[in-house]
Chains A and B, each alone.
Chain A
Amino acid sequence: MTTAHPDRSRAPGHAGEATDRMQLVSANHAAAIAATLAARANRRGRGFGSGVYPITPQTECIEYLCGQTIEKGQVVRVESEHSAMAVCMGFSLAGARTFTASSSNGLAYMTENVFAAGFYRLPIVMMAVNRTLGPPWNLWADHGDTMALRDAGWVQLYCEDNQEVADSILAAYRLGEDRRVLLPVLVCQDAFILSHTMMMTDLPDQETVDRFLPPLDLPHRLADRPRVIGGLDYPRQTEGHRLQHIEAMRAVPEVYREVQGAFADTFGRKLADPVVPYRMEDAEVVILSIGTMASTVRVAVDAARERGVRAGSLRVRMFRPLPDEVLRTSLARAKRVGIIDRNLCPGLGGILWGEARGLAPAGSIVQNYLAGVGGGDVRPEHITGVIDDLCARERAGEPRFMEVG
């Protein structure tokens, strides 16, 4: 879709103006360029390391990374996603900044170590290209792969365009490395719709990134002192460690706001909010969505408004921690809420619906729509169909599977 981004069209230094920082890149390359900038910024700290392994559709990201010269950095070509994350954990435990990327079954294979990175409290940044889990074999966009990692103790951000991918990678380091947070961050983007689509993207120079990203100083890094990281915990101790994890997650919204402030000061544009509203001022019919689908939703919302429907859109960009208070407040006036999931939890329905349905006001109709599952192309007419169905309902029903082809 070509509609202007509602946040960014008003942001300074953007709005499509051609600066020498603007580059025509895919979101895979945008992620890799941002990661390389962050990597080089830690040359003043304990350097950078990465374990990388190819999988469609993220491969171009790690290929780009392998072509870069990074002062005080090392990219290791490993034999599996499981080891890619393990190598990152080794680097991170030694105090280095780290990055990797994966997708779909690669993330599933990596899962044990994704949880480990969360529980070790290592501020690793990973870019995930959301792709349908197989079998059957499917290469296209679906959020089920990263949503299956929602309990891994990572911050999760879902992006809508290439600029947001680059910005989120840079912001993820500042957020995750903050002493109040110390969590890994997963930056997600939709397969092909973003990963292989080129857009003009504002990519900062090294000097500016150096100002934004101070060297990583990991308080629990493995140095010379005898100690065991990750050893045996008794139940009460694990409760204590989990409580610290909860507190770190609770700190994320406030630290994220600070990161947004520093981001705007340094780069001169806005870092998108955890929940991005569109025409929500008087909205009674609200569509929740994640990722690129939100730009399609905005077109359908405009069309519905022309038909007299008070429609609005909420894009859930931060999924972990779930911005439940923001969603509750945003939905306070909603009468009908359609939650679109590009994922499926068999036996439940859509995962966003499962989590957000309790945040709508009592008495509202909250209906789940499963759209674009397996990567189908969700077009404005599909969302218009969702809005029509939602407006015609007397009550909510079972999650509705929308076949979009």
Chain B
Amino acid sequence: MGATMTNGTAAAAPGEAELRRDDVPAEPLLGGVVQTAGDRAEPVLRAGNTNCGGCGMSIGLNMLGHAAADTPIQLVIPACCGIVTAGPFPYSAYGAPTVAATFASAAAFACGLTHAARLNGDATRVVCWAGDGGTYDIGMATLSAAAERNDDILYICYDNEIYGNTGGQRSSATPLGASTTTTPGGKEVPKKDIIGIMAAHGIPYAATVSLAHPDDALRKLRYALHAKGFRFLHMLAPCPTCWKSEPAEGIELVRLAVRSGLFAVYEVFEGYRTVINVEPEHSREALERYFKGQGRFRKAGAELTEVRAQIERSWRRLRARSAESDAST
């Protein structure tokens, strides 16, 4: 079932057997992502917004709405597709009080808001909703500082691996080989390991979120929403417009990224205890389909062998961290 449902013809990559671990729960089933009577009266992302069809970020916002069903939240959104989503003054596509923060400053705005909420005994939870540009690039110093201070903030990076609302320029989250308007020949370096960076701050919680694994995603969003201190979630968010992919296939692309091991689904507590949540099959077939499903890889692309070697290295590191924290607990 799930990710272990491999196609048997794919040749095992070197080291694949040892990368796989059978005692990790398999990929959970789809389901549960619909508005129900148990949800907040008003969704976080309201109907009638102008987001692109197949926007992964929109799915993420709906998941956040489910997770925050009974919790008042304030959103801090820097410059990114997420604030274009809100629509023009005086309308708002957000069913929650929202600040449109300056590009580099989401975590710092949230710092002020969350301290003020604490000083006044307000129940609200402060959530940053930021793209990869505002997180990996221009907002990195601000983000790092808020994490170092362990400010009581949930910071969610929806990562579409590109500057989306400026029309598709590379960010430091853009993967190796992807064509963008500023890397027309394909990006020559791989993306940053954002969870590695954030977990290195020793924050209470850092996790990746797969939109193709909604049960795991909702569990993490709920946990992270209510945990204290600085929590960081990294969400791979397909952007059909800039990935040049079919809008209907976004979730499938995320699933392929997970199955191939390209997008590891795991969580790190206190910067140390590492738990792998979804076991990939590390198949070449999934990786090939992931790349083939996106026009951005068509021109340059990446050598699959090179990408697989990178995946293998990152999984060895992840396994080592996971085993080490298992051994010490």
Contacts and interface: CB of A to CB of B under 8 A. Distances in A.
A152 to B, nearest CB: 13
B147 to A, nearest CB: 11
B97 to A, nearest CB: 5
A285 to B, nearest CB: 47
B300 interface: no
B71 to A, nearest CB: 12
20 contacts: A73-B119, A78-B111, A83-B141, A86-B108, A86-B112, A87-B109, A89-B105, A90-B99, A90-B114, A112-B102, A224-B72, A225-B97, A227-B90, A228-B99, A228-B100, A229-B98, A230-B101, A231-B83, A231-B86, A232-B89
Contact of B102 (A46, A96, A113, A224): A113
A108 to B, nearest CB: 15
B112 A228 contact: no
Q: What is the interface residue range for chain B against chain A? A: 35 or more
Interface string B81-118: 00110111110101111111110110011111111111
A391 interface: no
B112 A87 contact: yes
Interface residues of A, number: 43
B200 to A, nearest CB: 16
B169 interface: no
B98 A228 contact: yes
B145 interface: yes
Interface in A106-159: 112-113, 116
B149 interface: yes
B108 A226 contact: no
Given A83-B145, A224-B124, A233-B88, A76 B111 contact: yes
A92 B108 CA distance: 12
A74 B120 CA distance: 12
Nearest to A78: B145
A72 interface: yes
**Residue of A78, A83, A229 contacting most chain B CB atoms (<10 Å):** A83
Contacts of B94: 226, 228
Given A86-B142, A91-B116, A231 B97 contact: no
Nearest to A93: B99
B170 to A, nearest CB: 23
Contact of B115 (A49, A89, A228, A237): A49
Q: Sorted from nearest, which 6 A-B pairs have the closest CB atoms?
A: A90-B112, A94-B116, A86-B108, A86-B105, A79-B145, A230-B100
Given A78-B145, A86-B111, 17 more contacts: A47-B120, A78-B108, A79-B142, A82-B105, A83-B145, A86-B112, A90-B99, A94-B113, A94-B120, A116-B102, A224-B124, A227-B92, A228-B94, A231-B89, A232-B86, A232-B88, A233-B89
Contacts, number: 152
A225 B75 CA distance: 12
Interface string B251-294: 00000000000000000000000000000000000000000000
A103 to B, nearest CB: 19
A222 interface: yes
Interface of B: 42, 72, 74, 76, 83-84, 86-90, 92, 94-102, 104-105, 108-120, 124, 141-142, 144-145, 149
**Residue of A86, A88, A225 contacting most chain B CB atoms (<10 Å):** A86
Contact of A93 (B96, B112, B118, B120): B112
A76 B115 contact: yes
A232 B93 CA distance: 12
A115 B186 CA distance: 37
Contact of A226 (B97, B109, B112, B144): B97
A222 B72 CA distance: 12
Nearest to B84: A232
Contacts of B113: 90-91, 93-94, 222
A46 B100 contact: no
A59 interface: no
Contacts of A51: 108, 111-112
A232 to B, nearest CB: 5
Contacts of B116: 46-47, 49, 90-91, 94-96
A17 B144 CA distance: 51
A92 B109 CA distance: 10
B108 A237 contact: no
Given A222-B97, A237-B89, A113 B105 contact: yes
Given A47-B116, A96-B119, A224-B97, A90 B109 contact: yes
Interface in A189-248: 222-234, 237
**Residue of A51, A94, A237 contacting most chain B CB atoms (<10 Å):** A94
**Residue of B94, B105, B110 contacting most chain A CB atoms (<10 Å):** B105
